[in-house]
């Protein structure tokens, strides 16, 4: 099975552990530590990285149209295939942008400031698209999972789950940090025994939201980590099941929610919506799903924050449903739910959405296939790239 997203893969891993266990409340995550430098990831620099003073400084990198398309045609997609970085038009034409040195399997990828940043088994690999030159910032243990999000115009926030060699079911430790593609400066931030997924940057640009994951798919808190010091400034009481997504204005946190019903001795699934704009005054709301006995399988916000898209599936997540209830949209202002389009494959994970909010890509748990959704027309089309691919990078 090819991996559609780091969160989905960690979810499937946790579900395999939880399926044989009775439903119960979530366990508290282990306490974080400020991450030490590892491998040669920490480089000397005359000045430490400074977080942007406001969210407005992040907007150029978040809103840049990394595609060239009219509203009626799908944009071009960049993906990785082994050591090659490939550009693909949805009409089927592809071309290789760069071929980089071997550094193990690709775990995550991001297009930023004319560079491709890759989390690979051996570390962070950065590729300059102007000349194809690359550099590797090695980690001191193999990377099992990884994730990347923008943290500035030329800066990424990375999370790498490193194999700790323990041989257990959760034998990895997450290391998160910042990397600047211009200054080539790496700043480790925080470490956590288990999974740690970056969700976004707060409205002031000072802190990052992380989802800590242990051996269970349920979670009971989100961490707010200082980008300057790596200190966990707050543990926000945000509950959910496997998936969480921060709104573009960093005010709302959406989760695939679950809660235990003592009378029926079972879990009920829904949507959680939390106001996280004031860390000390987090307020949550439970939203029932549009179909009974269903659950959310992936979340993504539209760029304007007017729609929270999610894949709705019947039954419980660990029941491996054979059908799908389709792609849905929640309007957070009016709290209205609407069906966007049917989906044929219940295994499809949401991968990415274009900056103009016109196209959404899902990846089924089948090799070499993408489902492209025209959000305006409300229709889904399966597209098969001309060759195998490892990781979706971003729209160009």
> 118-148, pLDDT tens digit by residue?
999 999 999 999 999 999 999 999 999 999 9
Residue 177 has pLDDT above 70, yes or no: yes
> 341-386, pLDDT tens digit by residue?
999 999 999 988 988 899 999 988 876 778 889 999 999 987 777 6
Domain-located, residue 60 = yes
Closest residue by Cα to residue 198 from 188, 180, 212: 212
Of residues 323 and 393, more confidently modeled: 323
Structure tokens at 98: 């760069």
Beta-strand pair 294-301/244-246: unpaired
Domain-located, residue 49 = no
What is the signed CA dihedral for 343, 345, 349, 352, rounded to 10 degrees? -50
End-to-end CA distance of the chain: 26
Domain that includes residue 145, residue range: 6-35+54-395
Domain-located, residue 187 = yes
Domain-located, residue 293 = yes
Domain-located, residue 95 = yes
Domain-located, residue 390 = yes
pTM of this structure: 0.81
Question: What pLDDT score was predicted for residue 37?
Answer: 35
Q: How confident is the model at residue 14 (pLDDT cuts 50, 70, 90)?
A: very low
Domain-located, residue 282 = yes
Strand runs labelled E in 2-154:
33-34, 77-81, 84-88, 94-99, 106-112, 115-120, 123-128, 134-138, 143-150
Residue that the structure tokens 């729209």 belong to: 395
What are the respective helix, strand and coil percentages of the chain, to the nearest 5? Answer: 5, 45, 45
The CATH number of the domain holding residue 75 is: 2.130.10.10
Instruction: Report the domain count for the chain.
Output: 1
Structure tokens at 263: 């009378």
Domain-located, residue 360 = yes
> 254-263, pLDDT tens digit by residue?
999 998 899 9
Question: What pLDDT score was predicted for residue 214?
Answer: 75
Of residues 24 and 177, more confidently modeled: 177
Q: How confident is the model at residue 67 (pLDDT cuts 50, 70, 90)?
A: very low
């Amino acid at each position: 099975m090819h991996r559609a997203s780091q969160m989905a893969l960690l979810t499937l891993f946790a579900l395999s552990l939880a399926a044989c266990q009775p439903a119960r409340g979530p366990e508290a995550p282990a306490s974080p530590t400020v991450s030490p430098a590892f491998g040669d990831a920490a480089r000397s620099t005359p000045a430490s990285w400074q977080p942007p003073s406001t969210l407005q400084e992040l907007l150029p990198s978040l809103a840049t149209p990394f595609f060239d398309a009219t509203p009626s045609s799908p944009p071009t997609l960049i993906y990785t295939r082994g050591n090659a970085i490939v550009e693909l038009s949805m009409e089927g034409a592809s071309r290789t942008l760069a071929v980089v040195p071997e550094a193990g399997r690709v775990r995550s990828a991001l297009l930023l400031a004319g560079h491709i940043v890759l989390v690979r088994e051996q570390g962070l690999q950065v590729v300059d698209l102007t000349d194809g030159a690359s550099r590797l910032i090695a980690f001191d243990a193999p990377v099992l999972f990884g994730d990347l999000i923008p943290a500035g115009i030329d800066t990424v926030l990375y999370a790498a789950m490193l194999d700790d060699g323990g041989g257990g079911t959760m034998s990895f430790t997450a290391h998160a940090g910042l990397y600047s593609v211009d200054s080539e400066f790496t700043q480790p931030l925080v470490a956590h025994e288990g999974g740690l997924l970056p969700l976004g940057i707060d409205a002031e640009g000072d802190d990052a939201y992380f989802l800590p994951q242990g051996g269970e798919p349920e979670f009971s808190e989100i961490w707010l980590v200082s980008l300057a010091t790596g200190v966990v400034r707050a543990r926000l009481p945000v509950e959910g099941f496997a998936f969480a997504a921060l709104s573009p204005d960093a005010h709302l946190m959406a989760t695939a929610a679950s809660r235990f019903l003592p009378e029926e001795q079972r879990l009920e699934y829904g949507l959680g919506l939390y106001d996280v704009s004031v860390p000390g005054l987090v307020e949550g709301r439970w939203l029932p799903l549009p179909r009974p006995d269903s659950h959310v399988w992936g979340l993504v916000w539209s760029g304007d924050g007017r729609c929270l898209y999610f894949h709705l599936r019947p039954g419980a997540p660990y029941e491996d449903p054979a059908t799908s209830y389709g792609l849905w949209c929640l309007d957070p202002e009016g709290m209205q739910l609407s069906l966007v389009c049917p989906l044929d494959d219940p295994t499809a994970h949401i991968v990415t959405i274009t900056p103009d909010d016109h196209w959404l890509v899902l990846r089924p748990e089948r090799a070499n296939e993408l489902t492209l959704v025209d959000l305006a027309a409300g229709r889904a089309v399966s597209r098969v790239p001309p060759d195998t691919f490892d990781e979706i990078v971003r729209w160009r």
